[in-house]
Amino acid sequence: MLKIQGGYLFRLTSELGRRLRRLDRAVLAPHATYLASRQLDSGAFPDREGDGDLYYTAFGLRGLALLGALDVERATRASAWLAERLEARATVVDLHALMESCLLVSLAGGPDPLANAPSDWPARLRELLGTFRTADGGYGKVPSSTSGSTYHSFLVALTHPLAGGEVPDAPGLLAFLTGRERADGGWVEAPAMRKSGANPTAAALGLRQMLGAPLAPARLETTAGFLDGLAGPDGGYRANGSIPLSDTLSCFTVAWSLDQHGKGAMIRRQALTEYLAQTALPDGGFRAGVWDAGDDVEYTFYGVGLLALVHGSDAS
């Protein structure tokens, strides 16, 4: 039922995977071992409380796929768990994680989790995604949200192609993004916010790419300057300019956004190399930041992605 999509997600995964192949396998092997060790007997990947979770399962599978370590056995285990969650009520985050995970296990040679789903299941999913649309033209976290979210609008746009459809009303989504732009060069998550953040900016840039609406050169320069200004004293990039410490998610989204918009030379590779050394676990995996006492598969995915961008880039 699933088809390989040649869009944003496929490009991200294939590009990072290509760059990781330039790195010494001895550097990457501990991270693959870490991710593999986190898969539960059920086939899911756990949140920080140890419970199987769709969001973390998507990141666990994505990380293994990037590292070439998502084999048929692991994909088969994950497929069985995913097939049991097709009818569960979910947020936009969960719906996207479900569809991406289904695609990943199928590409890895596992059974299609949608094989026994009703034939109209993709259409029903697209209809469900429509219930998250908000009056301002974006999409919210849950149905009937009062205002749209830049991040959740990005996720909905990622999910529609996975469900076999086009992103509806592209002009309306672009108008929504215009309302989230700020003079500092970035975008905000919610309408009341005045200062932009790394992750809503990355989401807006990704959404514009998917909708075929690249930034004008002058605006791109302003946005790149905003992203560069998020560099923190710990070597990474911060979620916004008002906080002192960086996090691995923001480091990845800033570096990826600069790279994908022809600004890869601006990435502070030496500083990020030191940041990665501080956040890597001795036996594989990454923490969310130097302040984080734990670890999980999400931040390990971002850490591995950063290794690709910092050390596997054409400009490195």
**Per-residue model confidence (pLDDT) at position 2:** 38
**Per-residue model confidence (pLDDT) at position 315:** 57
**Residue 6 scores a pLDDT above 50:** no
- Mean pLDDT across the stretch 7-20? 90
Model confidence band, residue 213 (pLDDT cutoffs 50, 70, 90): very high
Predicted TM-score (pTM) of this structure: 0.95
**Residue 289 scores a pLDDT above 50:** yes
**Per-residue model confidence (pLDDT) at position 87:** 78
Out of 54-58, 164-168, 260-264, 297-301, which region has the weakest mean confidence (pLDDT)?
164-168
More confident call, 88 vs 266: 266
**Per-residue model confidence (pLDDT) at position 52:** 96
- Mean pLDDT across the stretch 93-98? 93
Q: Determine what percent of the chain is predicted with pLDDT higher than 70.
A: 97
CB 63 within 8 A of CB 35: yes
- Mean pLDDT across the stretch 278-287? 97
**Residue 81 scores a pLDDT above 90:** yes
What is the dihedral sign for C-alpha 217, 221, 224, 230? negative
What confidence tens digit (pLDDT) does each residue in 124-183 have?
999 999 999 999 999 999 888 999 999 999 999 999 998 888 899 999 999 999 999 999
**Per-residue model confidence (pLDDT) at position 212:** 92
What confidence tens digit (pLDDT) does each residue in 24-73 have?
999 999 999 999 999 999 999 999 999 999 999 999 999 999 999 999 99
What confidence tens digit (pLDDT) does each residue in 96-112 have?
999 999 999 999 999 99
Q: Residue 144: left (phi > 0), alpha (psi -120 to 50), or beta? A: left
Question: Beta partners for 286?
Answer: 280
**Residue 225 scores a pLDDT above 60:** yes
Helix pair 297-311, 248-260: axis angle to 10 deg: 40
Domains of the chain: 8-228 (1.50.10.20), 229-316 (no CATH)
The candidate with the shortest Cα–Cα distance to 37, out of 290, 304, 283, 305, is 283
**Residue 90 scores a pLDDT above 90:** no
Share the mean pLDDT of the chain: 94
User: DSSP secondary structure string, the chain?
Assistant: ------SHHHHHHHHHHHHHTTS-HHHHHHHHHHHHHH--TTS--B-TTS-B-HHHHHHHHHHHHHTT---HHHHHHHHHHHHTTTTS---HHHHHHHHHHHHHHHHTTPPPTTTTS-TTHHHHHHHHHHTTB-TTSSB-SSTT-SS-BHHHHHHHHHHHHHTT-PPS-HHHHHHHHHHHB-TTSSB-SSTT--S-BHHHHHHHHHHHHHTT-PPPHHHHHHHHHHHHTTB-TTSSB-SSTT-SS--HHHHHHHHHHHHHTT-GGGS-HHHHHHHHHHHB-TTS-B-SSTT-S---HHHHHHHHHHHHHHHSSTT-
CB 192 within 8 A of CB 184: no
**Per-residue model confidence (pLDDT) at position 122:** 87
